[in-house]
């Protein structure tokens, strides 16, 4: 199947119709708690992150409070999260930097955000998009997988896919489309066993089983 601009537009329109009102699944109460939640979400489900944050917030809902913990203490607080050793170290480093350089506030600037320990391009894009409405497309595993399967944007790296999506999607829809693709990846286009038969995009998806067979 050749993916034309018209097909891409139809893919986006259908995704918008189904997932148009979706938002982040992470629970948060302020910019700091959202930053923490996003940092914890690497290689960890949002459901698990919400369990952890419901346990540590509001007790640790500011850098001033969290920095009071030792590294072993914070590791124990988030022990049921994947990569908790590294994440605890990054969180304490981020708290220290927020207090030393940003008055305890989460910076809005992309370059400033990515200076924080453990905050990369994806995390910075998510934070800026969700908290302050900046147009951004954060490419996580779901966005990467769904974009490549639909050929909405094809790439071998998250950055390549991000750049492809920026070309394929109008800027005013970047932030929303990030959520459409995530939710489609969670609900339908699973990593190991995608539900192609039940997918509302199967007739315009080059990776769908029926589509591939019809075009072979």
Does 67 have pLDDT greater than 80? Answer: yes
Kindly report the average pLDDT of the chain as a whole number. 95
pLDDT > 50? residue 215: no
pLDDT tens digits, 125-176: 999 999 999 999 999 999 999 999 999 999 999 999 999 999 999 999 999 9
Q: How confident is the model over 11-31, as pLDDT tens digits? A: 999 999 999 989 999 999 999
Does residue 213 carry a catalytic annotation? no
* Active-site residue, from 109, 140, 151, 167: 140
204: which DSSP letter? G
Catalytic-role residue among 5, 115, 122, 197: 122
Dihedral, CA of residue 16, residue 21, residue 22 and residue 28, to nearest 10? 150
Task: State both tokens at 34.
Answer: 């959202």
- The yes-or-no answer on residue 151 being catalytic is no
Using only C-alpha atoms, the chain has a radius of gyration, in whole angstroms, of: 19
Domains of the chain: 5-22+137-214 (1.10.1670.10), 31-132 (1.10.340.30)
In sequence order, the 6+-apart residues with CB closer than 8 A to the CB of 139 are: 122, 147, 158, 159, 161, 162, 165
């Amino acid at each position: 199947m050749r993916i034309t601009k018209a097909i891409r537009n139809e893919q986006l329109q259908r995704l918008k119709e189904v997932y148009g009102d979706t938002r982040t699944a992470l629970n948060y109460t302020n910019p700091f708690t959202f930053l923490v939640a996003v940092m914890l979400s690497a290689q960890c489900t949002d459901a698990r992150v919400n369990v952890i944050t419901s346990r540590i917030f509001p007790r640790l809902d500011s850098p001033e409070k969290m920095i009071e913990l030792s590294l072993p203490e914070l590791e124990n607080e988030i022990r049921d999260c994947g990569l908790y050793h590294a994440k605890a170290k990054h969180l304490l480093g981020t708290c220290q930097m927020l207090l030393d350089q940003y008055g305890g506030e989460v910076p809005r600037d992309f370059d400033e955000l990515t200076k924080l320990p453990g905050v990369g391009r994806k995390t910075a894009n998510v934070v800026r998009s969700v908290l302050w409405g900046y147009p951004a497309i954060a490419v996580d595993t779901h966005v990467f997988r769904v974009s490549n399967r639909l050929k909405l944007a094809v790439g071998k790296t998250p950055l390549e896919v991000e750049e492809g999506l920026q070309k394929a999607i109008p800027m005013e829809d970047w932030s929303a489309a990030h959520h459409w693709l995530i939710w489609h990846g969670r609900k339908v286009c699973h990593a190991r066993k995608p539900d192609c038969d039940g997918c509302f995009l199967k007739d315009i998806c080059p990776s769908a089983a029926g589509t591939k067979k019809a075009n072979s």
